[in-house]
Amino acid sequence: MRIHIKNAMIVTMNTGDEPYEGDILIEEDRIAKMGVELREEADECINAHGMVAMPGLINTHQHSPMSLLRAFSDDLKLMDWLERKMLPAEDRMTPEDMYWGAKLAIAEMIKSGTTTFADMYVHMDQIAEAVSETGIRASLTRGLIGLEDDGGQRLAEGLKLIRRWSGQAEGRITTMMGPHAPYTCPPEFMKEVMGLAKDTGVPVHIHLAETVEETVKIKARYNCTPTQYLYELGLFEHHHVLLAHAVHLNREDVALLKGMKGGIAHNPVSNLKLGCGITPVLDMLGQGTIVGLGTDGAGSATTLDLFEEIKAAAWLQKLSTGNPAAFTAAQALQMATVNGAKLLNLEHETGTLEVGKKADIILLDMQKPHLQPIHQIESLLAYSINGADVDTTIVNGRVLMRGRHLLTIDEKEVLAQATVRGNRIVQGL
């Protein structure tokens, strides 16, 4: 299958590249050629005049089935939100609910320009099936809690996910080990998870210091910060690690992350909405630590539109420093593309538009009042675009959406299933 994208304004996200008007030729699942006025035979031609072609966005932290819990527990403090609403609702969710919740989330992500996401949840077979069917790319993780003895069931499920799904769905699925958080994973359990990650050769995906409450718990138990706790266990020394949130880090904590493999999944909208705080992104970037963007689950963030995270990330750093020049549009876009690819260990395949890389491409319709005139494309992409401006989404060389119409998902069926299942789950809570 050959697809010829013509007349697009191409934003490669490669350092030093300037946007240019040109063509992209896709052969099977990869970018075969890029240039001006390519003359190529193709099975499908997409006229992208008036559109921007850029790498698909990468959501580095998600809980996709929580899309069924969107906007039923807002405006609460985090522990009230979690204990009074989220946990009781999640207890009611069946494996089939997980499947349809994941499909709902994937539909939203495809329609808002996300081509790859990292997920941590339970019943991961159902989520993997949804990924396989819909054509999106994903890094999947079974969340692991080690506070009680379950006979090794959770660890077994985590290993099953890795062994069954790594490299499946035309290579679109990768996997990680997923210890939930320092406060839910005691040292011996963490060491066991780390050993399994090393044995299977996969990264580690873990929440870190999302709330003040977590830092208090870890200080009381181990007389250190959550970051120091993981550092002293050797997690950063021996593993590629995806740290979700990392809000409450002091300067010493930030310094401990220098040189680590992997980095931070920054979730600004969720952190803002739950009043958690502001991640010290500029301090991390300043020492070379990779920072990408995530939405967290729709149960907290409400939206899975990664363009909203791009805006929020930039605004927060400008506000926290009092300096509008401290954090740029280009930095925010890098976090949502190339940095995300690095966090998921996929930078050799996606995150930028380059010949030989996977054809994970989105086309943005710029012929709209809020996107004209075009003075600086990067500024428009960071501060003006929203997910509804995505016209076409391509993953692995396959068109998943064109003209805002989903091609691999029956949107009406997903919405109907979401309504019935979502209402049942939250009834009476």
Please report which residue ranges of 40-93 form alpha helices under DSSP H: 78-80, 87-91
Print the domain residue range for 364. Answer: 2-55+354-406
Q: Do residues 249 and 361 both lie within one domain? A: no
93 and 22 co-located in one domain: no
205 annotated to a ligand binding site: no
394 lies in a domain?
yes
- Do 226 and 83 lie in a common domain? yes
Instruction: Answer yes or no: do 308 and 377 share one domain.
Output: no
142 is in an annotated binding site: yes
Do 69 and 165 lie in a common domain? yes
Residue reference for tokens 């992350």: 257
CA angle, residues 189, 65, 410, in degrees to nearest 5: 145
260 shares a domain with 211? yes
245 annotated as ligand-binding: no
- Which amino acid is present at 397? G
- Say how far apart CA 256 and CA 283 lie, in whole Å: 12
- 385 & 339 share domain: no
Residues 269 and 368 reside in one and the same domain: no
Number of domains in the chain: 2
Q: What is the CATH number of the domain that holds 381?
A: 2.30.40.10
Distances from the Cα of 255 to the Cα of 211, 366, 411, angstroms = 20, 41, 46
93 in the same domain as 29: no
DSSP string, 341-390: HHHTT-TTTSSS--TTSB--EEEEE--SGGG-S-S-HHHHHHHT--GGGE
d(CA 28, CA 8): 20
> Quick check: is 414 in a domain?
no
Ligand-binding site membership of 172 (annotated) = no
Per-residue pLDDT of the chain (429 residues; tens, 9 = 90+): 999 999 999 999 999 999 999 999 999 999 999 999 898 889 999 999 999 999 999 999 999 999 999 999 888 887 788 888 888 999 999 999 999 999 999 999 999 999 999 999 999 999 999 999 999 999 999 999 998 888 899 999 999 999 999 999 999 999 999 999 999 999 999 999 999 999 999 999 999 999 999 999 999 999 999 999 999 999 999 899 999 999 999 999 999 999 999 999 999 999 999 999 999 999 999 999 999 999 999 998 999 999 999 999 999 999 999 999 999 999 999 999 999 999 999 999 999 999 999 999 999 999 999 999 999 999 999 999 999 999 999 999 999 999 999 999 999 999 999 999 999 999 988
Tokens of 301: 């963030």
Is 109 part of any domain? Answer: yes
Same-domain check for residues 73 and 38: no
Residue 152 sits in a domain of what CATH number? 3.20.20.140
154 known ligand binder: yes
Interacting residues of 401 by C-beta distance below 8 A, sequence separation 6+: 110, 111, 390, 392, 393, 407
Q: Is 213 annotated as a binding residue?
A: no
The answer to whether residue 422 sits within a structural domain is no
Q: What angle do CA 68, 153, 79 make, to 5 degrees?
A: 45
**Cβ neighbourhood burial of 199 (10 Å; 0-12, 13-18, 19+):** exposed
- The response to whether 123 counts as a known ligand-binding position is no
Reduced to 3 states (helix: H, G, I; strand: E, B; else coil), residue 99 is helix
Inter-CA distances, 94 with 54, 201, 322, 370, 418, Å: 37, 31, 47, 42, 13
Predicted model pTM: 0.97
Whether residue 207 is annotated as binding a ligand: the answer is: yes
Q: CA dist 6 to 3, 371, 396, Å? A: 10, 20, 18
Q: Are strands 51-55 and 2-10 parallel, antiparallel or unpaired?
A: parallel
């499946």: which residue's tokens? 168
**Domain assignment present for 424:** no
What value, to the nearest 5°, has the Cα angle with vertex 24 and ends 22 and 27?
165
Whether 61 is covered by a domain: the verdict is yes
421 found inside a domain: no
| Same domain assignment for residues 45 and 142 | no
376 and 257 fall within a common domain: no
* Residue 296 counted as an annotated binding residue: yes
Question: Which phi and psi (to 5°) does residue 328 adopt?
Answer: -105, 165
- Flag whether 124 is in a domain: yes
